[in-house]
Amino acid sequence: MSKFQFFCMPNTDRKKFTYLKMDSDSFMVEKKQLLKIGFEVEDDVIFADNADEAIDKFNSNYVYALQEYADSSVGGGLGTFIIESYKDIIRRFKS
């Protein structure tokens, strides 16, 4: 099973996306290039046997359901709040 990381252009409703296979030798170089041209990391890592399965999982937005479940508890919600606050602060400093 491989790990895939997906990237989306902001404000495109997940329609403009690409992905990278995380065990690729060029993963970090390619990730930096995508972030430099405006893509943002979307969701968590997706585990799949192949790229087609990873895309299907990404399109099903199954990570959203998992996030909602985690946020339903106090600890999970607090964790999400801290992570999202950190991301927002970093975005503001980059602007």
Over residues 70-81, the mean pLDDT reads 75
pLDDT in tens, 46-57: 888 999 999 988
63 close to 43: Cβ distance less than 8 angstroms: yes
Contacts of 64 (CB under 8 A, 6+ apart): 43
Over residues 2-20, the mean pLDDT reads 93
CA distance 24 to 94: 27
Residue 79 has pLDDT above 90, yes or no: no
Tell me which amino acid residue 26 is: S
Alpha-carbon distance values, 6 to 40, 42, 49, 74, 90 (Å) = 8, 6, 15, 28, 19
Whether the model pTM is above 0.85: no
